[in-house]
Structures are given as C-alpha cells and as structure tokens.
C-alpha cells in the first residue's frame, strides 16, 4: 500500500524559498499568484494492506523523521482510503 506524506512549514514560519519563488513568478507576470509555500512530498511503499495501519505507520514516521514539529506540519493520504 502506498502512503503519501505532504510536509509544509507551519503558517507562522517564514518560508524564504516560497517567497523567492513568488517573487520570480511576479517578475514573470503572474501577479495573480498571491503567495507560494514550498514543502516536501514523500511516497511510502508499505507492506501492509490495511489503510488504517498504513496511516498509522505513515504518521509515526512523519512524527519521528519526515517532519520537524517545531517548524513543520504534515498531511497524509493513503491509497484506497475513503
């Protein structure tokens, strides 16, 4: 089963990379892009066939390694999950 983990900086944390990308888009004429936040995306291939177990494991590894809770939060999607 595949789990996808999206890690992003918390809204209160300044994102220098996102800001630079937004500035670049503005200079390309995309004034309608009001803000950009850059994050990380992980695909986890898991041996379990249970989406509940997949979600539990994904959030465990996100807590432990993939995200730094001081500055980041994460969201998980699991294949087949309703």
Partner 1 sequence: MNFAIVVFPGSNCDHDAYHAVKHVLGHKAEFIWHKETDLKGADVVILPGGFSHGDYLRTGAIARFSPVMGSVKAFAAAGGPVLGICNGFQILLEAGMLPGAMLRNRELKFRCEHVHVRVEQTDTLFTVACRPNQVLRIPIAHGEGNYFATPEDIRRLEQNRQIVFRYVNAAGDVTDEANPNGSVESIAGICNMGRNVVGLMPHPERACEAVLGSDDGRVLFESVVMALAAGPVTAGSASA
Helix (H) or strand (E) holding 73: strand 72-78
Q: What is the DSSP letter of 63?
A: I
| Touching partner 1, residues 59-78 (CB under 8 A) | 65-66, 68, 70-71
Is 13 a binding residue for partner 1 by CB under 8 A? The answer is: yes
Is 16 a binding residue for partner 1 by CB under 8 A? The answer is: yes
CA dist 78 and 82 (Å) reads 9
User: Which tokens in the block code for residue 53?
Assistant: 């177990």
| Touching partner 1, residues 33-62 (CB under 8 A) | none
Is 28 a binding residue for partner 1 by CB under 8 A? The answer is: no
Q: Give whole-number Cα distances, 42 to 5, 26, 32, 81, in Å.
A: 5, 28, 29, 17
> Of 20, 60, 79, 81, which lies in the binding site for partner 1, with binding defined by CB under 8 A?
20
Using CB under 8 A, list all residues that contact partner 1: 9, 12-17, 20, 65-66, 68, 70-71
């Amino acid at each position: 089963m595949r789990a996808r983990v999206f890690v992003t900086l918390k809204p209160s944390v300044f994102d220098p990379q996102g800001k630079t990308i937004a500035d670049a888009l503005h200079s390309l004429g995309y004034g309608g892009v009001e803000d950009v936040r850059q994050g990380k995306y992980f695909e986890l291939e898991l041996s379990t066939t249970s989406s509940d177990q997949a979600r539990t494991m994904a959030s465990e590894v996100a807590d432990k390694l993939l995200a730094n809770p001081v500055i980041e939060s994460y969201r998980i999607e699991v294949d087949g999950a309703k």
